């Protein structure tokens, strides 16, 4: 998929923020195709959902609230809070604790980049990607027989065209320049550090 994007014109040379779910294969592919210098943000909604899936109903509201509160903190403080939460969970719900700690550092990438709150809310999840997917499923779900692959492509294209009319700009789009500046600044800092080490 990522290689296909490059073949269709996506430039590789610039630094990008990747917002992904917990797929280990996708995480590995980002590094292999685009290099390990790109920041990766894990979807917070997926993480909360995964952690809560290991808990009884009466524990879910407290843990959900604690996780959401931690995501609003500076990266180091938020990570420390969630590690404490994992210690507490480990006594009775070790699988929930393991799920919470897995990929924890990448849950706070957008905090480290210093993004405004509106952009954090948008770029902390994969919702803006998944929303069109659910729209395509709704449009194509009644088709019971696909003649061939071209028919599937036409239906998906038709569904996306219909969905496009309802799509809005991403929340905080006015501040996207902050993300761009932060990505460029981090690359410059790393470049300077490497030159200093070489000297």
Tell me, what's the pLDDT at 189? 56
Residue 177 CB burial class (10 angstroms; 0-12, 13-18, ≥19): exposed
pLDDT surpasses 80 at 192? no
69-90 pLDDT, tens per residue?
Answer: 999 999 999 999 999 999 999 9
In the numeric block, the tokens 């006015």 are attached to 174
Tell me, what's the pLDDT at 144? 84
Query: What does the DSSP assignment read for the chain?
Result: -HHHHHHTT--SSS---EEE-S-HHHHHHHHHHH-TTS-EEE-HHHHHHHHHTTS-TTTHHHHHHHHHHHHTS-HHHHHHHHHHHHHHHHTT-HHHHHHHHTTGGGGGHHHHTT--HHHHHHHTSSHHHHHHHHHHHHHHTT------HHHHHHHHHHHHHHHHTT--PPTTGGGHHHHHHHHHHHHHHHHHHHHHHH-
Tell me, what's the pLDDT at 190? 53
How far is residue 162's CA from residue 166's CA, in Å, rounded to a whole number? Answer: 8
Cα 138 to the center of its chain, rounded Å: 23
| Mean pLDDT score of the chain | 87
Tell me, what's the pLDDT at 188? 53
Mean pLDDT of 49-59: 97
At residue 195 the predicted structure's pLDDT band, cuts being 50, 70 and 90, is very low
How far is residue 98's CA from residue 86's CA, in Å, rounded to a whole number? Answer: 8
Mean pLDDT of 128-139: 78
Query: What are the domain boundaries of the chain?
Result: 2-114, 115-199
Mean pLDDT of 20-26: 89
Q: What percent of the chain has pLDDT over 90?
A: 49
pLDDT surpasses 60 at 181? yes
Greater model confidence, 198 or 174 = 174
Mean pLDDT of 24-51: 93
Tell me, what's the pLDDT at 155? 87
Query: What does the DSSP assignment read for 158-170?
Result: HHHHHHHTT--PP
97-127 pLDDT, tens per residue?
Answer: 999 999 999 999 999 999 988 889 889 988 7
């Amino acid at each position: 998929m990522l290689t296909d994007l490059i073949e269709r014109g996506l430039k590789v040379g610039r630094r990008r923020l990747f917002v992904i779910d917990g797929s280990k294969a996708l995480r590995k592919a980002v590094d292999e195709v685009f290099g390990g210098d790109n920041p990766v943000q894990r979807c917070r909604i997926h993480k909360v959902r995964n952690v809560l899936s290991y808990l009884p109903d009466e524990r879910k509201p407290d843990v959900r609230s604690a996780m959401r509160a931690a995501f609003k903190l500076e990266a180091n403080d938020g990570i420390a809070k969630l590690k404490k939460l994992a210690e507490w969970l480990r006594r009775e719900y070790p699988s929930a604790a393991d799920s919470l700690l897995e990929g924890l550092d990448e849950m706070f990438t957008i905090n480290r980049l210093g993004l405004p709150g509106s952009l954090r809310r948008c770029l902390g999840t994969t919702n803006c990607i998944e929303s069109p997917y659910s729209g395509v499923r709704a449009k194509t779900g009644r088709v019971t027989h696909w003649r061939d692959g071209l028919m599937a492509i036409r239906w998906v294209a038709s569904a996306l065209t219909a969905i496009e009319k309802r799509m809005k700009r991403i929340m905080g789009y006015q501040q996207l320049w902050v993300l761009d500046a932060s990505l460029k600044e981090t690359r410059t800092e790393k470049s300077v550090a490497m030159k200093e080490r070489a000297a």
